[in-house]
Structure 1
Amino acid sequence: MNFPARIDVHQHIVPPVWADALAARGLDSGGWAVPAWSANSALAMMDQQGIATGVLSVTAPGVHLDGEGDADARDLARAVNEYTAELAKDRPDRFGHFASVPLPDVDAAVAEAVHALDVLAADGVVLMSNAHGRYLGDPDFETLWAELDRRHANVFVHPAQPPMPLLPGTPAPLADFVFDTTRTALNLVLNGVMNRYPNVRVILSHGGGFLPYAAYRFSGLAPLAVDPDRDSDAVLRDLKRFYFDTALSASPSALPALLAFAEPGHVLYGSDWPFAPQEAGTYYNTYLETYPDYAPGQADAINRTNAEALFPRLAGRTGTANAPAGDGHTAPPGR
């Protein structure tokens, strides 16, 4: 099967200022070391994996770090977004970007989202699944959702470490990230965010955690466990509004559930590079490329055309292999 040049909606960047901020505080990504990164190494990976464009984002713990105040978080968000915007400006065919916002500082998050979308030409925003234990359906976050809805924004939800201790010997990306994605998605639906703001396109990482597998559990039990006046079909409809990326989730067991649940056009390619190293990308790409039960055109849609509908500026662009980007700077690991 021939695949189009992929649009990777789940690719990470490690701006030096962000890596330095984590290192200064002794932080990592939920027990997962922050890898070295450079624009040239990203392009090399993309060329090898058939990726035309990577939509870049900063991963957990985001830009509002433990032990720092709101002012520091605002400064870090702006620095991260300016760094990433410059890269995308230099190579708009190869890179896009989701802007970071400093939740739970809601006013600053709204201001940074507006600046990033209007001035920095961001392709959307990235939100961590929880902001210091507060999930994305929190009523205090309403003004942010209203602004994003007004702008018909793309919102990429990336998991963060949930507000609980790590399992011994089990970094959060291995298990807890899957749980936290599901938790915040259900929170968004049960608190009515997905119903009130129909213009936002919310992309869930890693196949939506276990949401596709458990969706009918949620819709069937919500009237019993949450609100007897809540309609199961309405809960299911709101759950189906989500988009899903395939990062670390294209497998013989996950793909059938994901493709059976997701609405047409709602599954997008994701790599999770460099936090998932290239050998992991190859592992999951093999399953994605050899899956036997695609509907006609479905594989091409996952790899590219579904993303073109969310990012019209990328329609028809296939990228140019082996072209330099930036200065090749490598960000140091943050440990």
Structure 2
Amino acid sequence: MDGGWIDVHHHSYHPPLITELRRRGVTHMAPGVPLPEWTVTDSLRVMDANGVQAAILSILLPDAAFDEGAASLVRQANEWSADLVRSFPGRFGALAVLPLPDVEATLAEIDHAFDVLGLDGVVMSASLADGRYLGDPAFAAVFDELNRRGAVVFVHPNPAYRCDCAGGPGFTAKVPPPLVDFVMDTTRAVADLLFGGTLGRCHDIKFILAHAGGTVPFLAWRLELAATWVLPEAGEVDVAAELRRLYYETAQAASPATLACLREVTAGENILFGTDFPFMKDAVVSATLGHLAGIADLDFRGNILALFPRLADRLEKAGLGREVADVARL
């Protein structure tokens, strides 16, 4: 691969952010997942050890972080991310976190993130603390603005999510939410965006789905069949076309079986390299690359550069980029 890998799913948790979360009484991202001890040195170390040239940084905030002063905390987190990009322009891009469900504050943060900080897109939790999903009509103005900007939107499971539709007493002790419930959170969000009309209305948004879309690739035909039995009004939705234009990344989803399923749903240019560092440690980063390194017909680097022109420009200026001829297709 010319120029090195680019990781689209790479989290950053600045030490002052962790300090503030602990002050608010937040100790875990999710059940069994404590707040990470992260520094930029950690990211650069694992990147250098694995031939990863650059990473798109993102922050997921636990629901409890929104109990007080969410907008100010979000603004500070995005300022820290922008500082990292300025300090390491050839190594990082960054996505803005948003203070949903506060629509007014979210629209203001979108303006600040793109127009002032120059960030590369946004990251959004698939579900919110109050149980709503991203396709809720209350969030239409947010997606319309992101659509107007042709933004990249990275959809990631809510760290606090646990499915209450399955599993009896003691289930989560045996099967912690990150193992199964997280991928269902993403799947539910995609179905909500799909059948609620957001995907069809917002064709200029580039949606990236964490963990290869959860179970979306496996359930694709089932979703296509919705109009034939339980959702007659879905007959006007071109489910296959909408799922095909989404982007899917490989964190915890790089096995040959998962990739084979994914290739049936989308085109090769919509498959992206991601690791989920630091929650997935060095050995998993290396194993992910081990699965992907021999796949000659997928241009993981070019796919990401086409989505993130600001990062591509920074790499080009540093003499580290390469021409991306197909940006116009987006």
TM-score relative to the length of structure 2: 0.87
The Cα shift of 1:224 comes to 2.3
Identify the structure with bigger relative contact order (alpha carbons < 8 Å, sequence gap 6+).
Answer: 1
Give the AA of the match of 1:83.
W
Deviates more, 1:281-290 or 1:157-166: 157-166
Check if 1:281 corresponds to 2:285.
yes
* Inter-partner Cα distance in structure 2 for 1:33 and 1:308: 32
**Corresponding residue for residue 254 of structure 2:** 250
On the 8 A contact 2:209/2:247 being kept in 1, the answer is yes
**Structure 1 residues 264, 285: closer, same or farther in 2, change over 3 A?**
closer
Higher helix share: 2
Larger mean CA deviation between 34-43 and 132-141 belongs to: 34-43
Q: Is the 8 A contact 1:52 1:320 kept in 2?
A: no
State the partner residue of 1:30: 30
Asked if 1 retains the 8 angstrom alpha-carbon contact of 2:15 and 2:38, the reply is: no
> Residue in 1 aligned with 2:79?
82
**Superposition map of 1:247-326 within 5 A:** 247-290=251-294, 295=297, 298=298, 301-302=299-300, 304-315=301-312, 317=315
Structure 1 residue 183: Cα displacement? 0.8
**Distance change >3 Å, CA 112–CA 209, structure 1 → 2:** same
Amino acid at match of 1:240: R
Number of residues paired by the alignment? 308
- 2:138 equivalent in structure 1: 140
Q: Which runs of 5+ in 1 are unaligned?
A: 322-335
Percentage of pairs with the same residue: 36
The whole-number CA distance in structure 1 between the counterparts of 2:2 and 2:257 is: 22
The answer to whether the Cα contact below 8 Å between 1:22 and 1:28 also exists between their aligned partners in 2 is: no
Provide the secondary structure at the position in 1 that maps to 2:10: strand
Match of residue 54 from structure 1: 55
Q: For 2:246, give the aligned amino acid.
A: F
Is this contact kept in 2: 1:223–1:231, CA < 8 A?
no
Q: 2:115 aligns with which of 113, 118, 121?
A: 118
**Shift of residue 4, structure 1, vs aligned partner:** 4.4
Shift in Å, 1:223:
4.2
Cα distance, 1:135 vs structure 2: 0.4
Instruction: Determine which of 179, 204, 221 is the counterpart of 1:216.
Output: 221
Structure 1 runs of 4+ aligned residues shifted over 4 Å read 163-166, 318-321
Q: Do the aligned residues in 2 keep the contact of 1:97 with 1:123 (CA within 8 Å)?
A: yes
Q: What letter corresponds to residue 157 of structure 1 in structure 2?
A: V
Give the stretch that moved more between structures: 159-168 or 30-39: 159-168
Listed one character per residue, the Cα deviations across residues 227-249 of structure 1 (whole Å, up to 9, x for unaligned) are 346246x1221122210111111
Say if 1:175 and 1:49 are closer, same or farther in 2 by CA, change over 3 A. same
The corresponding residue for 1:168 is: 173
State how far apart, in whole Å, the 2-side matches of 1:35 and 1:58 are.
11
> Would the aligned equivalents of 1:60 and 1:158 in 2 still touch at CA under 8 Å?
no
Match of 2:323 in 1: none
Asked if structure 2 preserves the Cα contact closer than 8 Å seen for 1:30 and 1:60, the reply is: no
* Contact residue 181 and residue 205 of structure 1 kept, 8 A: yes
CA RMSD of aligned residues (A): 2.1
Give CA deviations for 1:44-70 in whole Å, capped at 9, x if unaligned: 111111111111001252xx536714x
Q: 1:270-320 CA deviation, whole Å, 9 max, x = no partner? A: 0110011111111222112245xx53xx2xx12x00011111233373879
1:225 and 2:230 correspond: yes
2:56, 2:93 within 8 Å by CA — same for their partners in 1? yes
Q: Tell me by how many angstroms 1:258 deviates.
A: 1.0
Amino acid at match of 1:126: V
- The offset of 1:252, in angstroms, is 2.1
Task: Give TM-score scaled by structure 1 length.
Answer: 0.86
- Pick which of 74-83 and 174-183 moved more: 174-183
Distance in 1 of aligned mates of 2:234 and 2:154 = 31
**CA apart distance, 1:115:** 0.5
Task: Report SS of the residue matched to 1:253.
Answer: helix
**Alpha-carbon distance in structure 2 between the residues aligned to 1:20 and 1:193:** 36
Go from structure 1 to structure 2 and tell me whether the alpha carbon gap of 1:171 and 1:21 turns closer, same or farther (over 3 Å shift): farther
